[in-house]
Amino acid sequence: MSVDPDPVPPRSWFIDLAPLRESPAYMRFWTSGVAAGIGTQLSAVAIGIQVYDISGSTAAVALVGGFALGPMIIMGIFGGAIVDAFDRRRVLIVASLIAFVAPIG
């Protein structure tokens, strides 16, 4: 049994934040992704609470979650094929525009 003479310093145990400091554009992109993720999770919780308040049934909350899961799985499969077939930048822009306009309709 050998002992490592130079153990990994504790600083390298954490996430490297250098890209966030070095690239303001990446920092804005990352921050918007975090904000969108928080908003998505908050709305998922709010929908569950609203369904439970209306129906009083945990089964109804589970059904809403199941109905939301189906499209995510199906579009995840097709989305990968679409991204592989087209320019990724264009697909990202179109998907972002759809996500932006979807709540309006």
pLDDT tens, 5-18? 666 666 667 888 88
Question: What pLDDT sits at residue 46?
Answer: 96
Under the banding of pLDDT at 50, 70 and 90, the label for residue 105 is low
Question: What pLDDT sits at residue 10?
Answer: 65
Q: Tell me whether residue 45 is in a domain.
A: yes
Q: pTM of the predicted model, to two decimals?
A: 0.61
Task: Give ∠ CA 89-30-72 in degrees, rounded to 5.
Answer: 65
Q: Tell me whether residue 93 is in a domain.
A: yes
What is the residue range of 58's domain?
20-101
Q: Tell me whether residue 77 is in a domain.
A: yes
Question: What pLDDT sits at residue 24?
Answer: 92
Q: Tell me whether residue 56 is in a domain.
A: yes
Q: Tell me whether residue 12 is in a domain.
A: no
Q: From 31, 5, 32, select the one nearest 20 (Cα to Cα).
A: 31
Tokens of 24: 């303001």
- Over residues 34-46, the mean pLDDT reads 93
Q: Tell me whether residue 62 is in a domain.
A: yes
Q: How far apart are CA 29 and CA 64, in angstroms?
A: 31
Q: Tell me whether residue 5 is in a domain.
A: no
Under the banding of pLDDT at 50, 70 and 90, the label for residue 35 is very high
Residue 71: phi and psi, rounded to 5, are: -60, -35
Q: Domains in the chain: how many in total?
A: 1
Q: How far apart are CA 72 and CA 51, in angstroms?
A: 20
Q: Tell me whether residue 59 is in a domain.
A: yes
Question: Mean pLDDT, the chain, as a whole number?
Answer: 87
Question: What pLDDT sits at residue 77?
Answer: 87
43-78 CB burial, b ≥16 within 10 A, e <16: eeeeebeebeeeeeeeeebeebeeeeeeeeeeeeee
Question: What pLDDT sits at residue 15?
Answer: 85
